[in-house]
Structure 1
């Protein structure tokens, strides 16, 4: 059984919608709304179709497909340049230190500052894997394929890349962070605000959010305890990001308080370590218990891009590839591939 990552098209609306209904809320980039998802797919098709290079407000949506059954079992996204249509807001945790000579004491207060520091960055997000496929490294295949796409279309992406991780959501689908901070000013529940943001953007944040710093010490304990904490289902994603070289630099999501990870694009491990080579031959000598090493392999540009796991044997500036991955990626000898070791 072979899975490939490929660009999404309009025919993928139904399976993406079905996956969106499984997210459990707080997943802004994958709203369970057909109209919003249709708009995303239309924007993605336009992004893949854009011929000229250069950083732009593009969206690229990918799907994970089982080549044996044709079923779509996962999805992910890349935003070329965030903050172009609407401001891209985050909270940045800062500190204010004050000293009293009379008391002989120094006080440090941690503060949430509303920020647009991350505007103009590239964002990787919208990653969802069907619960029935959460094994065999498919989550890593989805996540890392995006970096190979970025590498091979480098002129389209910013010098800094971010990833927002979903924050803690309670059993009722609410957000302790939202209830303790922004919800006090908006008169709507977390679910309502999250749905509105997913459909219409976050300009309403600019209109209604107070611009003054928020002292963390004044927040309820339920909100304080989840600042910068990923949703339990996102802990593995956070580890994968850290393995790629992403770090948390005190930015958190304004809705649920989840951490926003950042990295220099050229220093992302999969971008930095990937290699290009010409396929010397398709060989059945490669595979498990045979020759070669299992790697992430990609080919094609823009709408023809595809990625999959494959068995690769390096031979100088050329490689041998196993038949299954060559078939999945529709490759033959003489074509160029990009590959990076599987970790």
Structure 2
């Protein structure tokens, strides 16, 4: 019980002092609880873990075929947890300190072609009922702004009413950024907002209990969940004749960035719109464009057809 209570204290610190988002806190909790469950089988507590315990845990993750990236995330969670225990004077060492994370190869983001994106949008535009009107607004916003799905579902209706040309978004680290809205996204949004009240529960409508979420839901959170948005997009992909494995909120975010760069947008502007704190994160999209740039040289350079 002591070990689990210290995990709870760590999560409280991350929320209060570091301003960690709900998604980040849930990820830390999942990782640390998994570590605690593993150690329980060894007769050990997480706050008393040794370097040998941590190595055994990583070997267990490898045996379960978890990717190097996932293993590195687990190791990072453990490192932060043990740093917290050291700051609190609970222990004087970090058992993760001398353990190297697994090597992670650079993976290129998946993205939709312009044609597939247009097919998806065309299907969404053929909205007939209120559910389809909402889905149309979701798709248009994701592709027009490059929002993270967590940012999308946590939008307040008031954020869409300040200036019809832009959205003010609260991103990671509680940093605000401004993203422009395309005309088609604005039109889809306005059409949806006219029907937004119908997504409130009947009780809330009668009592006037509107929490102000742009995409309200009758679930516990009060707004549409990330998981549900993903489900709706896959259903739309099937309806559009597109492999649903190719569609997710994050892939639409990648499409937003890639299509902008393909059409001449500069990297700094894309960085700001995506909300990346470091431009090196945005630069991965230049690798996606490598084939296109090579074709441009081969097709248009005066020496490319000689020899």
Tell me whether the two structures share a fold, i.e. TM-score over 0.5. Answer: no
Larger relative contact order, structure 1 or 2 (CA cutoff 8 Å, min sep 6): 1
Larger Rg over CA atoms: 2
Q: Where is the helix percentage greater, Structure 1 or Structure 2?
A: 2
TM-score (norm: length of structure 1): 0.26
